[in-house]
Amino acid sequence: MIKLESLSKHFGTTVVLDGIDLTIDKGEIVVIIGPSGTGKSTLLRCINFLEQPTAGTMTVGDLTVDVKKASRAEILSMRRRTAFVFQNYALFANKTALQNIAERLLVVDKWPKEKAYRRAREILDQIGLGEKADAYPASMSGGQQQRVGIGRAMAAGAEVILFDEPTSSLDPEWVEEVLGLMKQLASERQTMMVVTHEMSFARDVADRVIFIDGGRIVEQGPPSEIFYNPQDPRTKDFLKKILATNPV
Amino acid sequence: MDVLNVEYMLGLVPVLLRYLPLTLQLAGIGMVFALILACLFAVIRVLRIPVLNQLTIVFISFFRGTPLLVQLFLFYYGLPQLASALTVIDGITATIMGLTMHFSAYMAESIRAAIVGVDRSQTEAALSIGMTNGQMMRRIVLPQATRVALPTLMNYFIDMIKATSLAFTLGVTELMGATQKEAAGSFLYFEAFIVAAIMYWIVVELLSKLQNHLEIRLNRAYSR
């Protein structure tokens, strides 16, 4: 379970997140939508402590931290409970696909080599890249790289996987294979928070859609409500614009 | 007319070869210490560790801003004057100290640039899976920075091998010092220094070959 209470993030005098309250159940698939620059990515980055939130409390699993007083150990622990999938994949360029996935198990979880690589191979097979075990990121397609990026997040055994626009950098031909893998994860009830502009993914896969604007949650609910019966004018406006170019 | 005394030159080769190991040792030991120091400085600079960062900046500025020969004289002749305990510093030690500090100052900057050049998203990815800063540096950043910095570091190493010749001014009989002595005995300066020059040249060429080999190895992960 993830619980955010009055989570806020300021960059200087700019308020990017303005008191977010949010509870996400285990196994829930949450898709976050909203105009660009409204704090969607920052929200995910705060949960993973890639950004230090300015105020609020955060609970992931059985660990609750007051973000202002978070110690180094608490930050590390939070990061280990949350996995992140980056827009630009961010694979380790000096490591093979297999090593990218095994890295966390070896270094962070201190698994013995054999066990870590066995697990990494299982994940590679799951993401359909078993034959790419020894390939380096530079030699893989964008779609393959992002699938490894997701594989790396899966290895963490994290409470939640945070997807930050996972298909936005991909050539159109690779988008489906990445969304397919995400659907597969969703069907296994892996808790996920996804920031995306793929509205059909939101409609088909999400348990809940959250619309964020100006650093606040404006509206949230099941996709059927948000997409077909939005209440707030800002939600209506956003959906009208995005559905014109990205129909569901 | 006697153009070149080839016989003398050939005879000189085994004599001078005996001093080559000392030259290589000075450069080798200097390089190891310089690398360690340079990595330390680079990390201090990148992480902007307070106090140490400022001290490092001054250190780098001084050792880049003054001639190596001046530094060597400072260590060899200057330090013992400060404290009598420091008279134990002999020519070889002073040379290694000078080479280490002088070249670490240069190398720190190229290592720092290589570290900063590693894609920021990869360092974020390393942190996101829960690595500590140290783990991130060791496993992700430094291996990639090494590849970027390698050509420059090899150039500094080559420079350092040649710079060991300054040790003869501190009375160290390495390749240059030995050549100087031989030449002074025979008055065949041209022959003697040509032999020494060719020896330095061969060593440097061998290192360039090694450099190419290493670069190919390190680039393996990045070819499509």
- To test the contact with chain A by mutation, choose from B129, B217, B218, B223 the residue with the greatest count of A C-beta atoms within 10 A, namely B129
**How high is the pLDDT of residue B124?**
95
User: How big is the A-B interface in CB pairs under 8 Å?
Assistant: 75
**ipTM here:** 0.91
Structure tokens at B218: 């390190």
Using a CB–CB cutoff of 8 Å, tell me whether B135 touches chain A: yes
Shortest distance between the Cα of B143 and any Cα of chain A, in A, equals 7
Listed residue (B30, B60, B28) closest to B44, CA to CA: B60
Is A139 within 8 Å of B140 when comparing Cβ atoms? no
B44-81 pLDDT, tens digit per residue, is 998 899 999 999 999 999 999 999 999 999 999 988 88
CA neighbours closer than 13 Å in the CB half-sphere of residue A25: 6
* Contact by Cβ (8 Å): A207, A29: yes
DSSP 3-state of A55: strand
Residue of B nearest to A91 (CA): B122
Over chain B, what is the mean pLDDT?
92
CA dihedral B188, B193, B196, B202 (to 10 degrees): -120
Chain B residues touching A157 at Cβ < 8 A: none
CA distance A95 to chain B (A): 7
Which residues, 6 or more positions from A97, have their beta carbon under 8 angstroms from its beta carbon?
A: A124, A129, A132, A133, A134, A135, A136, A137, A140, A144, A148, A151
Across B159-181, average pLDDT: 94
CA–chain centroid gap for B53, Å, is 23
Distances (CA, A) of B215 to A53, A141, B174: 42, 25, 30
Tokens 């990061």, residue located: A79
Instruction: Quote the DSSP letter at residue B138.
Output: I
Cβ within 8 Å, pair B125-A88: no
Provide the CA A237 distance to its chain's centre, in angstroms.
25
Helices (H), A19-112: 40-47, 72-81, 97-103
pLDDT of residue A248: 66
Please report, in tens digits, the pLDDT of each residue of chain A (248 residues total).
Answer: 899 999 999 999 999 999 999 999 999 999 999 998 899 999 999 999 999 999 999 999 999 999 999 999 999 999 999 999 999 999 999 999 999 999 999 999 999 999 999 999 999 999 999 999 999 999 999 999 999 999 999 997 889 999 999 999 999 999 999 999 999 999 999 999 999 999 999 999 999 999 999 999 999 999 999 999 999 999 999 999 988 877 66
User: Side-chain half-sphere of B73: how many Cα atoms within 13 Å?
Assistant: 6
Q: Check whether B1 has a pLDDT greater than 60.
A: no
